[in-house]
Amino acid sequence: MDEKASGFSLEMPKVGVIRGVKAKDVELVGGKVVNLRICARPYSNIYSVTQLRAIKTVSEQYGSGKVHLSPRHNFEIPEIRNKRIDDTLKLLYVAGLFPGGAGTSVRNIFTCPDWCSQSVLPTQEIGKMISTNFGDRDMPNKFTISFAGCVNGCSRPHNADVGIIAVGKVKVAKGNCADQCNKCVEVCPRQAIEKNGGKVLLKEKNCNFCGKCVKACPQNILTFASTGFKVMIGGKEGASVAFGSVIADFVKDFELLEIIENVLQKYQEKAKFRPASQKKKERLTEVIERLGLESFLAD
C-alpha cells in the first residue's frame, strides 16, 4: 500500500547501534551492517506473539537469523543490512518496539513476573510507572533500576544503581495452630520462627521479611501486617562489582517515585568525570564512594 496515498506517515526514531559489537558469521552483501538493540514502549518485559513474530521477520529477512535476549530484557538483532534499516524500523515500530536500551541513560527497567509464587508484591505495574517517568532519561553514565518481588532477588536488585525489593512484615494471630504442623519453621531461612506447642513465636530480629512463612501457613495463623519495598542504591555489575546500600524500608508505590527522582537529580548534580578522563563520567557507585552515602543524599 502506498503510504502517501493512504495518508499514513511514520516518524522514524533514531537508530541505535550497539557500540563495540562486530558482525560475525555473516556474508556482507551490499555494504555495512548494524546491530540493533530494541525494547518495548510502553515498557514491558513480557513480549506479545505479534512482537516476537516481527522480531523473527526482521531477523530472517534483513539480518542473519540471530536474536539475543539481553539480561535487561532488551532484544538485540545483530547484522541487519544497513540499506534495509528503514524497513526494519517500520516493521518493529508498528509492533511497539523501538531502538533503545543502550547509552548513558536510564536503561530498561528490570522486573520479575507477577505470577511467581514467591512474590510478596507484584512489580510489573510499578515497573511500568517507573519506566514511564524515568525511562531513557539522559544521565552521566548508564543507570539501571531493578525490581524484585521478594528477597530472592532473581532480577539482581543488589547490583543495580537502584535496587527495589518487595518485603512483608509478619504478624502472628491470636490462638493456637495444630501441634503437628511445622511448615512455617521448615521454610524459614533465618530461624526466625519457633513453635512451643500450638504457639508460634516470631523472632523479629532474625526475620528478613521474605514472607515464606506466610505462604506456607495453612491456617492463616501467620499473615502480613504490612508490605512495601526496600530501596538500595549504588550497586553495579561489570569489571568491578558493587552491592547497593539500603536507604529506605517498607516504601509505598508513590514514595518510590520521589526517592528515585531524588537519586537521579543528585547523581546528575554530583557526578564528575572519571580520573584522567574527559569523556566518561562516574557511575553512581563511584560518586557514592567518593562522597560517602550521607553526603551524596544530603541537599
Region 110-136: mean pLDDT is 91
| 88 and 45 both lie in a single domain | yes
In a domain, 240, yes or no: yes
CATH (domain of 39): 3.90.480.10
Q: Which of 60, 82, 99 is the last residue of a domain?
A: 99
Q: Which of 62, 82, 99 is the last residue of a domain?
A: 99
Q: Quick: pLDDT tens for 262-272.
A: 999 999 999 99
| 74 and 128 both lie in a single domain | no
Joined grid coordinates for residue 251: 516504601
Structural domain of 131: 124-297
Cα separation, 128 vs 202, in Å, equals: 35
In a domain, 106, yes or no: no
279: three-class secondary structure by DSSP: coil
In a domain, 119, yes or no: no
Q: Quick: pLDDT tens for 191-209.
A: 999 988 888 999 999 999 9
Region 49-73: mean pLDDT is 92
> Which pLDDT score, from 0 to 100, does residue 27 have?
46
| 145 and 283 both lie in a single domain | yes
> For residues 15 and 89, is the Cβ–Cβ distance under 8 A?
yes
Listed residue (269, 282, 287) closest to 233, CA to CA: 287
Region 94-117: mean pLDDT is 87
The pTM assigned to this predicted structure is: 0.86
In a domain, 116, yes or no: no
Determine what percent of the chain is predicted with pLDDT higher than 70: 90
| 160 and 271 both lie in a single domain | yes
Listed residue (72, 101, 96, 227) closest to 160, CA to CA: 72
Sign of torsion over alpha carbons 25, 31, 37, 42: negative
- Number of structural domains the chain divides into: 2
Cα separation, 131 vs 50, in Å, equals: 22
In a domain, 118, yes or no: no
Mean pLDDT of the chain: 87
| 272 and 159 both lie in a single domain | yes
In a domain, 197, yes or no: yes
Region 44-67: mean pLDDT is 92
Q: Quick: pLDDT tens for 131-186.
A: 989 988 999 999 999 999 999 999 999 999 999 999 999 999 987 887 788 999 99
Higher local confidence (pLDDT), 239 or 6: 239
In a domain, 188, yes or no: yes
| 131 and 221 both lie in a single domain | yes
| 93 and 154 both lie in a single domain | no
244: three-class secondary structure by DSSP: coil
In a domain, 111, yes or no: no
